[in-house]
Amino acid sequence: MSSRFIGILLFVIIIGSYFPLQTLFFAVSAGMVLFLIVFRKVLQRKPFHMLWLGIPTILSTIIGLSTFKIFNVVKDIYYFSVPLLLFLFGGLLATKVRFNSFLRIIVISGFVVSIIRVVISASFAGFSAFLNPYEARYAIVGIVGNPAPVIGLAILLFSKKLGFKLFNSSLFNLLFVVNLLGIYMFASRTYYILLLCFAFFYIADKFKTIYLIPISAFTGLVFLFVLNESGSTSGNSSNVFIDKFFKSFTELSINKFQTAEDINTMYRGYESYMALKAFQEGKTINWIFGGLGKLVDLESDVLGEGLRNIPILHNGWIYIMLKTGILGLLFYILFLLQMFRRGWNFYRVKNMPPHIRFNLALFLGCITGLVITNYVVISLFNVEMTVMLICLGYCYVFGFTLIDSIEKKDRWEPK
């Protein structure tokens, strides 16, 4: 299969993940993984490293099949297969698609997604969509989101910084403006967080490691303070999105809210509280290994939609602990921490070749963004994050394969 065809298929998968047919395009991705595995003569080991996360999933599946309904177990197997297969797909793409071609595909995908978003928003809300994209967002029915404009904008910024000419000047400016417009039109707090993660690594290579922890801690404390203070306001802001943004911390606070109004307003925090309660009520074996198929009883009709027993949460970290136990949570944390640690150690090396530095910047931005937003929108298991997970897998294989070859040839080590 030609690399050009695979590149076109990647573009279609990224665009398709924006629409309600996300599951279909996820199935296509899974099919591509199997095809590349079967027909590739020499497989690198790196794409398969993430399959270690399959161990707690298998153990929790065994427990779930003996305890819960098969339908619910299968549903959880689907969610837990999302990061594994998309990461693996991205890793295998690194063996078939050139780095510059991959970057161009992501940027153009972000451009197309942005255009689609603008057109759909304007068709639902007219010109007012540009003045208040948040309201236009909720006028759109049946379409979720796609962070391709975020990664597309990040790629353009990094290419400018590192001297990569992916597009001519006129096209670069057009792609930059449209991707930025797309992010604005999505009016998503999650996407702004992702953008901040990439922006951080735009300048982070200038930091010494000793300064990284205090800077990150200080920034986080200031951010949480602002959110906490703003969350206690009366909510009379003239801008709904800004008001919503500054109440984020309050919405995510884990608590058993009593009134229906508080439960519906702070649904994510209430949902997390009930999930922790369900975890505590489990047996010792469930604490350790979890159990796929377990539902969370919300003990009330939430959001007026008949939601009572739910299979999945917004908080991806509590979801992992509930479904795969403490063992599964440790697997995920240690795996992601190890990937981040190695990526950061090489990214801060001053004599790193530009294409590897570019790759590592995207890698670190993706992994940090996914880890943070997993607390809010279960990003590690959300097909909406298809482009992020594929990019993570691609950068992991491409970057560390080059680093390994440099180390073997020149005995080069990070200092």
Query: Same domain for 22 and 87?
Result: yes
Report pLDDT for 218.
59
Average model confidence (pLDDT) across the chain: 81
Query: Same domain for 253 and 325?
Result: no
Angle at 260 between CA 255 and CA 264, to 5 degrees: 70
* Residue 40 covered by a domain: yes
Domain count, the chain: 2
Give the C-alpha separation, 174 to 186, whole Å.
18
Query: Same domain for 325 and 198?
Result: yes
Tell me the mean pLDDT in the region 260-289: 84
* Residue 215 covered by a domain: no
Q: Which two tokens stand for residue 115?
A: 């255009």
Report pLDDT for 147.
94
pLDDT surpasses 70 at 23? no
Query: Same domain for 300 and 342?
Result: no
Query: Same domain for 332 and 306?
Result: no
Report pLDDT for 234.
39
Query: Same domain for 299 and 358?
Result: no
Q: Per-residue pLDDT tens for 143-188?
A: 678 999 999 999 999 999 988 899 999 999 999 999 999 999 888 8
* Residue 214 covered by a domain: no
Query: Same domain for 88 and 174?
Result: yes
pLDDT surpasses 50 at 41? no
φ, ψ dihedrals at 309, nearest 5° = -105, 110
Of 105 and 258, which is predicted with more confidence? 105
Closest CA to 323 of 85, 64, 78: 64
φ, ψ dihedrals at 301, nearest 5° = -80, 110
To which residue do tokens 């309050």 refer?
250
Query: Same domain for 300 and 350?
Result: no
Tell me the mean pLDDT in the region 63-69: 92
Query: Same domain for 191 and 229?
Result: no
Instruction: Residue 262: give the domain boundaries.
Output: 220-284+294-310
pLDDT surpasses 80 at 255? no
pLDDT surpasses 50 at 414? no
Give the C-alpha separation, 361 to 369, whole Å.
12
Query: Same domain for 303 and 322?
Result: no
pLDDT surpasses 50 at 263? yes
Query: Same domain for 197 and 267?
Result: no
φ, ψ dihedrals at 297, nearest 5° = -85, 115
* Residue 289 covered by a domain: no
Instruction: Among 1-15, 167-181, 350-364, 387-401, name the one with the lowest average pLDDT.
Output: 1-15
Quick check: 340 and 148 in contact, CB under 8 A? Answer: no
Closest CA to 200 of 315, 39, 351, 372: 372
Report pLDDT for 17.
80
What share of the chain in percent tops pLDDT 90? 40
Query: Same domain for 66 and 203?
Result: yes
- Beta-bridge mates of residue 109: none
Quick check: 142 and 149 in contact, CB under 8 A? Answer: no
* Residue 303 covered by a domain: yes
Report pLDDT for 103.
96
φ, ψ dihedrals at 19, nearest 5° = -105, 170
Tell me the mean pLDDT in the region 63-74: 93
pLDDT surpasses 80 at 316? yes
Report pLDDT for 257.
67
* Residue 212 covered by a domain: no
Of 142 and 294, which is predicted with more confidence? 294
* Residue 415 covered by a domain: no
Instruction: Among 234-238, 309-313, 341-345, 406-410, name the one with the lowest average pLDDT.
Output: 234-238
* Residue 298 covered by a domain: yes
Tell me the mean pLDDT in the region 326-335: 94
pLDDT surpasses 90 at 96? no
CA distance readout (Å), 277 to 30, 87, 303: 35, 32, 20
Tell me the mean pLDDT in the region 1-13: 79
